[in-house]
Amino acid sequence: MADASGTPGFLGNVVRGLRGAATLRLRPRQRPAPRQAAPGPSPHDGLDAAEQAALEQLGAVDGYATRWPVRREVARSLASRQLVVIASDYVLLTEAGRRALTSGALGRD
């Protein structure tokens, strides 16, 4: 409680501090403008020979493998194009990867 002198007690200071914190949160935040994503390679860009071979490896084992002996650059490139999903214990060929695999097989005649 506040004493007779008009100065707030401990509880009054806490309430006043909470009011100040609440008004700070009610003010609209200035958010930075969303960054434009850098245009990366699309899944429909041509695959190089190593990427095509890596997709064919996964295609040969029904699109799922617990070991996938490819270079890190190849794996990262295919994952960034969302052609494969790489987890800590498996690699999965996505639908887009299957389409790239079939379109690559048709285009190599």
Residues 50-77 have pLDDT tens digits of: 999 999 999 999 999 999 999 999 999 9
H or E segment and range at residue 104: helix 95-107
Q: Tokens representing 100?
A: 């790239």
Please indicate whether residue 92 or residue 12 has the higher confidence score (pLDDT): 92
pLDDT of residue 24 exceeding 80, the answer is: no
Q: Give all domains of the chain, ordered by start, each with its CATH number.
A: 49-107 (1.10.10)
pLDDT of residue 12 exceeding 50, the answer is: yes
pTM, 2 dp:
0.56
